Homo-oligomer: A and B are copies of this chain.
Amino acid sequence: MSTIRLTYTSYVVLGLVELAGPSTPYDMKRGVEASIGNFWSFPHTQLYTEPERLAEAGYLTEEREEGGRRRKVYSLTDSGRQALDAWRSDPTGELAELRDPAVLKLFFGAERGPLGRAQLAAHRRKLAEYEELRDAIASTAPPGPLIALECGIEHERMLIRYWSRLAAEA
């Protein structure tokens, strides 16, 4: 049993398994897209390697399905739940970075007009998608995902205002 550094990806995996119960990597993949994947994405291959890492370190157990494809099924251990709890209950003051590719271009002198229009279109689409998603899950989802989705919605609205203003000035 090795010792590893828990990354954000680790917590996403632990959190997903807590939410959904014992999961295969593919279960996780489906759990990620259209939820947490909207604002914290990574390639699906991470969902094969990361649970393995976590299992080696004792945060998950790894079993094989009986019959069929005999896929790997991961479950939370006590140690895993503890790690998740410790992380979750530490009220971090760490801040998100903008890390917006379009703002990066802007910083280095990109033309506002075309960039603004492209961004506006994309952000409007994303906002619509979020609002639809919220309406679809509002009555059934746990509060965490819902409230996070609200943040995503505010984020999109802010950026739509921002790029609108820029595109208008240009």
Contacts and interface: CB of A to CB of B under 8 A. Distances in A.
Given A39-B98, A40-B97, A102-B94, A107 B154 contact: no
A97 B12 CA distance: 15
A36 B107 contact: yes
Main secondary structure on A side of the interface with B = helix
A103 B92 contact: no
Contacts of A111: 89, 91
A162 interface: yes
Contacts of A18: 108
Given A117-B91, A144-B109, A98 B12 contact: no
Interface residues of A, number: 62
Contacts of A89: 110-111
Nearest to A96: B100
Interface of A: 8, 11-12, 15, 18-19, 36, 38-41, 84, 87-89, 91-112, 114-115, 117-119, 121-123, 126, 142-145, 147-148, 150-152, 154-155, 158-159, 161-162, 166
By Cβ-Cβ distance, the 6 closest A-B pairs, closest first, are: A96-B100, A39-B98, A15-B108, A91-B114, A93-B122, A107-B148
